[in-house]
Structure 1
Amino acid sequence: MTDNMSIDASAFASRDDVLGTAEAWLQEGRKVALATVVKTWGSSPRPVGSRLVVDADGAMVGSVSGGCIEGAVIKEAFEVMDGAAAHLLDFGVSDEQAWDVGLACGGQVQVWVERLEG
């Protein structure tokens, strides 16, 4: 992960904007990972289908949590861009990791993280 990570001004971009950005980045030859909220319970900050796209330089568009788990998701995105298998992340108030990353809103969320290929 680089020190010059940047969040696009449209952090809460529409799903189409996120996928369009991912497609554009792939066409530019960038490594790209996509994180998608696949299930929520209780008071989750973002709905199912919310997406975050990240490139290998740390640029990102979209959101999967409004900020409370983004750091952990981005870390996993870098891992899948570096060759790790796509995988499901679980965050929730009963999960100690949820408190560590700031998900104290009473909800639970599952996020699928995958590398996209051009």
Structure 2
Amino acid sequence: MTDHELLLEAIRQTQMLGKRSALATIVNVSGSAYRREGTKMLIDEDANLTGVISGGCLESDVAEVAMSVIETGTPVLKTYDLGEDVVWGLGLGCPGTVKIFIEPVRP
């Protein structure tokens, strides 16, 4: 099964169970990053994740933002500057900037 098919199946399953969810999509990459534009991740109201949008460094923060999106129904465009070692303190190895659009999934 492709990543796209897995994501669609996760959306279908989430909706069948009556759970709310949000979809995070990389909409812009400037410089170096692990994933490219169009990469998606689904986050449900129980914080279950389907898909990967980075090398593991952004998923938890994106999931936290997604919880707010699920609660409010208001989409968010979040920018991550992966070159900011002072903020992240991780030395991630991809000094690019990634913009992620996080939106509620509607039935």
TM-score, with normalisation over the residues of structure 2?
Answer: 0.85
Alignment of 1:44 onto 2:33: yes
Runs of 4+ in 1 over 2 A off after TM superposition: 93-104
Give 1:14's aligned amino acid.
D
Give 2:37's aligned amino acid.
V
Alpha-carbon deviations, 1:34-91, whole Å to 9, x = none? 1000110111111111111011112111011121111110000000111151010001
Unpaired stretches in structure 2, ≥5 consecutive residues? none
Aligned to 2:8: 19
CA distance change for structure 1 residues 37 and 89 in 2, over 3 Å: closer, same or farther? same
Aligned to 1:99: 88
Give 2:74's aligned amino acid.
A
Moved more, 64-73 or 89-98: 89-98
TM-score, with normalisation over the residues of structure 1?
Answer: 0.77
Number of equivalences:
106
CA distance change for structure 1 residues 79 and 104 in 2, over 3 Å: closer, same or farther? farther
What is the SS of the residue equivalent to 2:8?
Answer: helix
Q: Percent identity?
A: 28
Unpaired stretches in structure 1, ≥5 consecutive residues? 1-12
Give 2:17's aligned amino acid.
E
Alignment of 1:68 onto 2:62: no
